[in-house]
Chains A and B, each alone.
Chain A
Amino acid sequence: MIRFAHVHKEFPRTGAALTDVNFQVGKGEFVFLTGPSGAGKSTILKMVYAAELPTQGQVWVAGQSTASLRRSGVATLRRKLGVVFQDFQLLEDRTAEANIGFALEVTSAPPDTIGPKVARLLAQVGLPSKGTALPGELSGGEQQRVAIARALANDPMVLIADEPTGNLDDRATRGVFQLLRDINAAGTAVIMATHDLDLVRRAECRTIEINRGQVVFDSAAGATGGA
């Protein structure tokens, strides 16, 4: 479903960010991307949703090479993906339900389906009564749940989470992680970048470790170099 084939990425100012990255993620997998800050985790995730393109090599998502996509193709691809960030990226002047509904509206979902779907998503992330709250009125964990609900709005095949628990306390971290496991159990693949090695150890999921732009460990391959 997602395949990185000999991917190199260089930025004009900072130089090489990724070097010969190879791995695959199949349907329904839960994959941790770990590694120190600046290792290249976020660059890999950005390549999945085509915010960055490889300098060399190919990134394949749902059977398409991201380098071959036109701008409209990128929009279509992103409707198949859900993305959540450490800083939630919610619109501060809109309620939780408006933030989630917004994702449905911009993808031209039928208006009469939006309300019920938003209610279902809010229930799914455990916030059925927080629909009318503004992001500033919610805790960090709750805001991340709203962001996850928004990411799920278009029924993505993959949920990409870039340090989703980075700003949360332990309890909220456990809650958000459990939510991601539940989503994964329902069939959605999850790729989660994290620094939290305790969480990674406890979870016993596939782990890809990145260091200095290279895959140094992939538990699925059991060896350095990736799948």
Chain B
Amino acid sequence: MRLALREALRSLLSAPLLGALSVTTIAFSLFAFGLFGLVAVNIRETLRTVEERVELRAFIVDGTPIEATSALLGDAQAFPEVLSATLVTPAEALERARRELQEFADVFESAMLPASIDVHLREGFRDPASVRVVAERLATYSFVDDVRYGEEWVEKLYRLRTIAGVAGTTLGTTFAVVAMIIIGATIRMTVLARAREIEIMRLVGATDSFIRGPFLIEGFVKGVLGGVVALLLTFVAHQVLTRWLLSAAFFDARLSLLGIAGGALLGLIGSAAAVGRHLRER
């Protein structure tokens, strides 16, 4: 291990330009991936915010005893899909209508708005099927006049979410594959630059795993450095975007670390593939 570390360090120091080129290539490949990731994260965040607005409203028949309404409220709060359920009295409904529809404020009368139970769903239960199940369950109560949730809107939102997910996965995979190819080609240059050394190692009886060691360490180090540089570039791009165009979310600490780990993994896989190919060829 010590020898592998020494050889990796020697390689990095003896060809600093080639090393810098590898790190830069990895960094820019990951930067492109990072920019895509940033867009994906913001789309996901926006969709999540919109999804939070998915709401069911169960209208209560006028004159229903408060005990029955409270029982329904308790039941709804206990549904596994439900994040929160609140009772909206006719007076509160009127107040809300006046607030939300100010231009019609003077035509609302308290008697014309029924009480309702407003239900927000947990994340993961905001798809059309789950919403429909909860709506149907609420509708089974005899004193529930109607349950509304904007069925068409929920379906459109869900479709948009699915499209964004598929597009994200496809584009993300494409970016990752392109990054891996570029990184593999760059690391192959490093391997070819040390072909003579590899040949001598093999001649004196070094095993393939022994020969791979320094290259894997080198690939890992370059991957980590490339990942850090890519993260910094993405952060700068995010800052520019936020300052001049629109406010956008950045990766949280977990995603940032995941990005650097991804760089390390790409460096490792790229190195393993490049040196493995070289060893198989000769």
A residues neighboring B (CB under 8 Å): 49, 71-72, 75-79, 83, 89, 91, 93, 102-103, 105-108, 150, 153-154
Tell me the count of chain B residues lying within 8 A, CB to CB, of chain A. Answer: 15
Interface CB pairs A-B, < 8 A, 14: A75-B205, A75-B208, A76-B205, A77-B205, A78-B203, A79-B205, A83-B203, A89-B200, A91-B200, A103-B205, A106-B201, A106-B204, A150-B204, A154-B204
In the complex, what distance in Å separates the CA atom of A169 from the CA atom of B206? Answer: 33
Which 3 residue pairs spanning A and B have beta carbons closest together? Answer: A79-B205, A106-B206, A78-B205
Could you say which residues of chain A place their CB within 8 Å of the CB of B203?
49, 78, 83, 89
CB distance from B7 to the nearest CB of A (A): 9
In the complex, the answer to whether A107 meets B205 with C-beta atoms within 8 Å is yes
In the complex, the answer to whether A72 meets B204 with C-beta atoms within 8 Å is no
B residues neighboring A (CB under 8 Å): 3, 14, 196-197, 199-208, 210
Contact among A71, A93, A102 with B204 in the assembled complex (CB-CB below 8 Å): A102
In the complex, the answer to whether A78 meets B202 with C-beta atoms within 8 Å is yes
Could you say which residues of chain A place their CB within 8 Å of the CB of B202?
75, 78
In the complex, the answer to whether B204 meets A107 with C-beta atoms within 8 Å is yes
In the complex, what distance in Å separates the CA atom of A79 from the CA atom of B208? Answer: 14
Interface centre among B3, B201, B204 (most CB of A within 10 A): B204
Could you say which residues of chain A place their CB within 8 Å of the CB of B206?
75, 106-107
CB distance from A79 to the nearest CB of B (A): 4
Could you say which residues of chain A place their CB within 8 Å of the CB of B200?
89, 91, 102
Interface centre among A72, A91, A106, A108 (most CB of B within 10 A): A106
- Decide yes or no: A89 and B199 within 8 Å by CB, A105-B3, A106-B210 being known contacts: yes
